[in-house]
Protein backbone atom coordinates (compact mmCIF):
# COMPACT_ATOMS: atom_id res chain seq x y z
CA UNK A 1 0.00 0.00 0.00
CA UNK A 2 1.62 3.31 -0.98
CA UNK A 3 2.28 5.71 1.85
CA UNK A 4 0.43 9.01 2.04
CA UNK A 5 2.06 11.54 -0.27
CA UNK A 6 2.32 14.69 1.85
CA UNK A 7 4.62 17.04 -0.05
CA UNK A 8 1.80 18.84 -1.83
CA UNK A 9 0.20 19.46 1.53
CA UNK A 10 2.74 22.25 1.82
CA UNK A 11 0.58 24.23 -0.57
CA UNK A 12 -1.87 24.45 2.31
CA UNK A 13 0.59 26.66 4.10
CA UNK A 14 -0.57 29.68 2.13
CA UNK A 15 -3.32 29.77 4.74
CA UNK A 16 -0.79 29.55 7.57
CA UNK A 17 1.37 32.50 8.72
CA UNK A 18 4.68 30.62 8.94
CA UNK A 19 7.01 33.59 8.75
CA UNK A 20 5.92 36.29 11.15
CA UNK A 21 7.30 39.38 9.46
CA UNK A 22 3.73 40.42 8.67
CA UNK A 23 1.54 39.03 11.38
CA UNK A 24 -2.13 38.72 10.35
CA UNK A 25 -3.66 41.03 12.92
CA UNK A 26 -7.03 42.53 12.06
CA UNK A 27 -6.37 45.55 14.25
CA UNK A 28 -2.93 46.28 12.76
CA UNK A 29 -3.39 48.58 9.80
CA UNK A 30 -1.11 47.87 6.89
CA UNK A 31 0.08 44.47 8.06
CA UNK A 32 -0.26 41.84 5.39
CA UNK A 33 -2.39 38.74 5.82
CA UNK A 34 -1.99 35.43 4.09
CA UNK A 35 -3.92 35.16 0.83
CA UNK A 36 -7.40 33.73 1.13
CA UNK A 37 -7.43 30.49 -0.84
CA UNK A 38 -10.05 27.81 -0.34
CA UNK A 39 -9.00 24.35 0.74
CA UNK A 40 -10.84 22.94 -2.28
CA UNK A 41 -8.73 25.05 -4.64
CA UNK A 42 -5.55 24.03 -2.83
CA UNK A 43 -6.56 20.39 -2.95
CA UNK A 44 -7.21 20.54 -6.70
CA UNK A 45 -3.88 22.33 -7.28
CA UNK A 46 -1.96 19.85 -5.17
CA UNK A 47 -3.55 16.87 -6.89
CA UNK A 48 -2.80 18.36 -10.31
CA UNK A 49 0.86 18.98 -9.40
CA UNK A 50 1.20 15.46 -8.06
CA UNK A 51 -0.26 13.93 -11.21
CA UNK A 52 1.84 16.10 -13.53
CA UNK A 53 5.23 16.19 -11.83
CA UNK A 54 5.62 13.34 -9.36
CA UNK A 55 7.99 10.66 -10.75
CA UNK A 56 6.52 7.20 -11.17
CA UNK A 57 8.63 5.84 -8.32
CA UNK A 58 7.19 8.49 -6.00
CA UNK A 59 3.67 7.68 -7.14
CA UNK A 60 4.39 4.03 -6.41
CA UNK A 61 5.55 4.83 -2.88
CA UNK A 62 3.10 7.56 -1.92
CA UNK A 63 -0.59 8.13 -2.48
CA UNK A 64 -2.30 11.48 -2.71
CA UNK A 65 -4.43 12.13 0.40
CA UNK A 66 -8.19 12.22 0.42
CA UNK A 67 -9.92 15.58 0.85
CA UNK A 68 -10.74 14.62 4.44
CA UNK A 69 -7.12 13.91 5.35
CA UNK A 70 -6.01 17.04 3.48
CA UNK A 71 -8.32 19.30 5.47
CA UNK A 72 -7.50 17.58 8.75
CA UNK A 73 -3.78 18.04 8.20
CA UNK A 74 -4.19 21.72 7.33
CA UNK A 75 -6.04 22.49 10.54
CA UNK A 76 -3.65 20.54 12.75
CA UNK A 77 -0.57 21.98 11.11
CA UNK A 78 -1.84 25.51 11.62
CA UNK A 79 -2.43 24.80 15.29
CA UNK A 80 1.03 23.26 15.69
CA UNK A 81 2.88 26.12 14.03
CA UNK A 82 1.07 28.91 15.80
CA UNK A 83 0.38 27.12 19.06
CA UNK A 84 2.68 27.11 22.05
CA UNK A 85 2.90 23.33 22.52
CA UNK A 86 6.23 21.87 21.45
CA UNK A 87 4.88 18.32 21.76
CA UNK A 88 2.15 19.11 19.24
CA UNK A 89 4.77 20.38 16.81
CA UNK A 90 6.97 17.33 17.41
CA UNK A 91 4.13 15.02 16.39
CA UNK A 92 4.56 16.06 12.76
CA UNK A 93 7.99 14.50 12.31
CA UNK A 94 6.85 11.51 10.17
CA UNK A 95 4.79 13.68 7.83
CA UNK A 96 7.53 16.30 7.52
CA UNK A 97 10.19 13.70 6.70
CA UNK A 98 8.03 12.10 4.03
CA UNK A 99 7.20 15.51 2.57
CA UNK A 100 10.88 16.50 2.42
CA UNK A 101 11.82 13.32 0.57
CA UNK A 102 9.03 13.89 -1.92
CA UNK A 103 9.90 17.56 -2.47
CA UNK A 104 13.53 16.71 -3.19
CA UNK A 105 12.29 14.25 -5.82
CA UNK A 106 9.89 16.67 -7.51
CA UNK A 107 11.08 19.00 -10.27
CA UNK A 108 11.18 22.52 -8.83
CA UNK A 109 10.70 21.25 -5.30
CA UNK A 110 14.09 22.30 -3.94
CA UNK A 111 13.02 25.90 -3.38
CA UNK A 112 10.37 24.67 -0.95
CA UNK A 113 12.47 21.79 0.36
CA UNK A 114 15.07 24.14 1.86
CA UNK A 115 12.25 25.90 3.73
CA UNK A 116 10.76 22.60 4.94
CA UNK A 117 14.14 21.22 6.01
CA UNK A 118 14.56 24.09 8.45
CA UNK A 119 11.06 23.47 9.87
CA UNK A 120 11.83 19.76 10.21
CA UNK A 121 14.86 20.80 12.24
CA UNK A 122 12.52 22.64 14.64
CA UNK A 123 10.24 19.61 14.80
CA UNK A 124 13.09 17.24 15.67
CA UNK A 125 14.44 19.63 18.30
CA UNK A 126 10.97 20.07 19.76
CA UNK A 127 10.70 16.31 20.00
CA UNK A 128 14.00 16.20 21.91
CA UNK A 129 12.67 18.71 24.43
CA UNK A 130 9.67 16.49 25.13
CA UNK A 131 11.53 13.16 25.31
CA UNK A 132 14.76 14.00 27.11
CA UNK A 133 15.17 15.37 30.64
CA UNK A 134 15.90 19.06 30.54
CA UNK A 135 19.44 19.74 31.74
CA UNK A 136 19.79 22.69 34.12
CA UNK A 137 21.38 25.77 32.53
CA UNK A 138 25.12 26.00 33.06
CA UNK A 139 25.65 29.56 31.86
CA UNK A 140 23.86 32.86 32.11
CA UNK A 141 23.21 32.70 28.37
CA UNK A 142 21.49 29.30 28.67
CA UNK A 143 19.38 30.55 31.54
CA UNK A 144 18.34 33.59 29.51
CA UNK A 145 17.51 31.63 26.31
CA UNK A 146 15.45 28.45 26.78
CA UNK A 147 16.72 25.47 24.72
CA UNK A 148 19.99 27.21 23.84
CA UNK A 149 22.07 24.28 25.13
CA UNK A 150 20.13 21.89 22.89
CA UNK A 151 20.77 24.01 19.82
CA UNK A 152 24.42 24.54 20.68
CA UNK A 153 24.82 20.77 20.69
CA UNK A 154 22.92 20.34 17.42
CA UNK A 155 24.77 23.07 15.55
CA UNK A 156 28.20 21.89 16.73
CA UNK A 157 27.70 18.74 14.64
CA UNK A 158 26.51 20.51 11.50
CA UNK A 159 28.53 21.45 8.41
CA UNK A 160 28.44 24.95 6.97
CA UNK A 161 26.08 25.12 3.95
CA UNK A 162 28.02 24.92 0.69
CA UNK A 163 26.57 28.18 -0.63
CA UNK A 164 27.73 30.21 2.37
CA UNK A 165 31.36 30.73 1.33
CA UNK A 166 30.53 32.56 -1.87
CA UNK A 167 27.86 34.75 -0.29
CA UNK A 168 29.32 35.71 3.06
CA UNK A 169 31.67 38.56 2.03
CA UNK A 170 28.90 40.55 0.33
CA UNK A 171 26.39 39.84 3.08
CA UNK A 172 28.78 40.85 5.84
CA UNK A 173 29.65 44.07 4.01
CA UNK A 174 25.94 44.88 3.68
CA UNK A 175 25.23 44.31 7.37
CA UNK A 176 28.19 46.38 8.45
CA UNK A 177 27.17 49.19 6.09
CA UNK A 178 23.77 49.25 7.82
CA UNK A 179 25.38 49.42 11.27
CA UNK A 180 24.82 45.81 12.33
CA UNK A 181 27.29 43.18 13.56
CA UNK A 182 28.53 41.09 10.65
CA UNK A 183 27.90 37.94 12.69
CA UNK A 184 24.16 38.37 12.21
CA UNK A 185 24.39 37.38 8.54
CA UNK A 186 24.27 33.77 9.75
CA UNK A 187 20.56 34.34 10.11
CA UNK A 188 20.52 33.35 6.43
CA UNK A 189 21.54 29.79 7.32
CA UNK A 190 18.50 29.38 9.55
CA UNK A 191 16.11 31.13 7.18
CA UNK A 192 17.13 29.58 3.87
CA UNK A 193 20.30 27.45 4.14
CA UNK A 194 21.90 30.29 2.12
CA UNK A 195 19.65 29.61 -0.86
CA UNK A 196 18.75 32.95 -2.54
CA UNK A 197 15.88 31.23 -4.37
CA UNK A 198 14.34 29.62 -1.28
CA UNK A 199 10.67 30.21 -0.78
CA UNK A 200 7.99 29.22 1.71
CA UNK A 201 4.48 28.21 0.72
CA UNK A 202 3.17 31.29 2.52
CA UNK A 203 5.00 33.63 0.15
CA UNK A 204 8.32 34.41 1.84
CA UNK A 205 11.35 34.40 -0.47
CA UNK A 206 15.09 34.78 -0.53
CA UNK A 207 18.04 34.40 1.79
CA UNK A 208 16.21 36.19 4.60
CA UNK A 209 12.69 34.96 3.79
CA UNK A 210 10.97 38.30 3.40
CA UNK A 211 7.21 38.43 3.05
CA UNK A 212 6.04 40.84 0.31
CA UNK A 213 4.76 43.65 2.54
CA UNK A 214 7.86 43.76 4.73
CA UNK A 215 10.10 43.56 1.67
CA UNK A 216 8.37 46.61 0.18
CA UNK A 217 8.55 48.44 3.50
CA UNK A 218 12.30 47.82 3.52
CA UNK A 219 12.67 49.12 -0.03
CA UNK A 220 12.68 45.92 -2.07
CA UNK A 221 10.75 45.33 -5.25
CA UNK A 222 8.80 42.07 -5.26
CA UNK A 223 7.73 41.98 -8.90
CA UNK A 224 9.91 41.87 -12.01
CA UNK A 225 12.46 41.66 -10.61
CA UNK A 226 11.84 40.17 -7.19
CA UNK A 227 14.70 41.75 -5.28
CA UNK A 228 14.19 39.38 -2.36
CA UNK A 229 16.26 36.91 -4.40
CA UNK A 230 19.10 39.43 -4.82
CA UNK A 231 21.64 38.55 -2.09
CA UNK A 232 23.09 42.05 -1.58
CA UNK A 233 19.82 43.97 -1.77
CA UNK A 234 18.03 41.51 0.50
CA UNK A 235 20.93 41.64 2.96
CA UNK A 236 20.68 45.43 3.22
CA UNK A 237 16.91 45.11 3.72
CA UNK A 238 17.28 42.40 6.37
CA UNK A 239 19.85 44.47 8.23
CA UNK A 240 17.57 47.52 8.18
CA UNK A 241 14.65 45.46 9.46
CA UNK A 242 16.69 43.84 12.23
CA UNK A 243 17.99 47.26 13.21
CA UNK A 244 14.43 48.52 13.43
CA UNK A 245 13.38 45.56 15.57
CA UNK A 246 16.40 45.93 17.85
CA UNK A 247 15.48 49.57 18.40
CA UNK A 248 11.96 48.51 19.37
CA UNK A 249 12.83 45.67 21.74
CA UNK A 250 16.28 46.51 23.03
CA UNK A 251 18.08 43.19 22.58
CA UNK A 252 18.78 40.58 19.93
CA UNK A 253 16.74 37.64 21.30
CA UNK A 254 13.55 39.70 21.34
CA UNK A 255 14.38 41.26 17.97
CA UNK A 256 14.82 37.78 16.48
CA UNK A 257 11.57 36.62 18.06
CA UNK A 258 9.84 39.57 16.39
CA UNK A 259 11.49 38.74 13.05
CA UNK A 260 9.91 35.29 13.23
CA UNK A 261 6.61 35.75 15.07
CA UNK A 262 5.92 39.39 14.22
CA UNK A 263 6.59 42.46 16.37
CA UNK A 264 2.91 42.76 17.31
CA UNK A 265 2.82 39.26 18.77
CA UNK A 266 6.01 39.82 20.75
CA UNK A 267 4.90 43.21 22.09
CA UNK A 268 1.51 41.92 23.19
CA UNK A 269 3.07 38.90 24.88
CA UNK A 270 5.57 41.06 26.74
CA UNK A 271 2.73 43.25 27.98
CA UNK A 272 0.53 40.32 28.93
CA UNK A 273 3.28 38.46 30.79
CA UNK A 274 4.88 41.64 32.11
CA UNK A 275 8.05 40.34 30.55
CA UNK A 276 11.38 42.03 30.01
CA UNK A 277 13.56 39.39 28.30
CA UNK A 278 12.93 36.53 25.89
CA UNK A 279 12.90 33.89 28.64
CA UNK A 280 9.96 35.68 30.27
CA UNK A 281 7.73 35.08 27.25
CA UNK A 282 9.28 32.21 25.27
CA UNK A 283 6.75 29.58 26.35
CA UNK A 284 3.90 31.88 25.32
CA UNK A 285 5.21 32.41 21.78
CA UNK A 286 4.58 30.11 18.78
CA UNK A 287 6.36 26.77 19.00
CA UNK A 288 8.37 27.65 15.90
CA UNK A 289 9.60 30.87 17.52
CA UNK A 290 10.57 28.98 20.68
CA UNK A 291 12.93 26.91 18.51
CA UNK A 292 13.93 29.69 16.09
CA UNK A 293 15.52 32.13 18.55
CA UNK A 294 17.92 29.66 20.23
CA UNK A 295 18.75 28.13 16.87
CA UNK A 296 19.75 31.49 15.36
CA UNK A 297 21.85 32.38 18.41
CA UNK A 298 23.52 28.96 18.51
CA UNK A 299 24.22 29.18 14.77
CA UNK A 300 25.91 32.55 15.17
CA UNK A 301 28.00 31.25 18.08
CA UNK A 302 29.02 28.08 16.23
CA UNK A 303 29.93 29.78 12.97
CA UNK A 304 31.69 32.85 14.38
CA UNK A 305 32.91 31.92 17.84
CA UNK A 306 31.17 35.00 19.24
CA UNK A 307 28.77 34.38 22.12
CA UNK A 308 25.40 35.92 21.42
CA UNK A 309 25.58 38.03 24.58
CA UNK A 310 28.69 39.66 23.13
CA UNK A 311 26.97 40.84 19.97
CA UNK A 312 26.98 44.58 19.67
CA UNK A 313 23.75 46.46 19.37
CA UNK A 314 22.69 48.23 16.22
CA UNK A 315 24.59 51.45 15.64
CA UNK A 316 22.95 54.56 14.27
Task: Report CA 219 to chain centroid distance, whole Å.
Answer: 21
Dump strand ranges (E) for 132-223.
Answer: none
Eight-state DSSP code of residue 183: G
Task: Single out the residue of 237, 272, 242 nearest to residue 254, CA to CA.
Answer: 242
Q: What backbone phi and psi angles, to 5 degrees, belong to 205? A: -145, 155
Cβ-based neighbours of 87, under 8 Å, separated by 6 or more: 126, 130
Alpha-carbon distance of 232 to 237, in angstroms, equals: 9
191 given a catalytic annotation: yes
Q: Residues 6 or more apart from 51 whose CB is under 8 A from it?
A: 64
Pair 125, 292: CB distance under 8 Å: no
Q: Which of 191, 217, 227, 301 is catalytic?
A: 191
DSSP notation for 218-282:
TT--BSSSBGGG-HHHHHHHHHHHHHHHHHHHSSHHHHHHHHHH-HHHHHHHHHHHT--SHHHHG
Q: Catalytic positions, please?
A: 191
Amino acid sequence: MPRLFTSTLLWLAVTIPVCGQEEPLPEAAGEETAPEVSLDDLYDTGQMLFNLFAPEEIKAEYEFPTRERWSEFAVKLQLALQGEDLAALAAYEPEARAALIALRALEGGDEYADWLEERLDYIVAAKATTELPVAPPTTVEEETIPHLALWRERMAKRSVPARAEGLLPALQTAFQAEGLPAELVWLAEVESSFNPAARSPVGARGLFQFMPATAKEMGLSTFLPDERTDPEKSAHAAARYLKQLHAQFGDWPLALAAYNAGPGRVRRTLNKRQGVIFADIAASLPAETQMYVPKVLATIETRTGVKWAGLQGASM
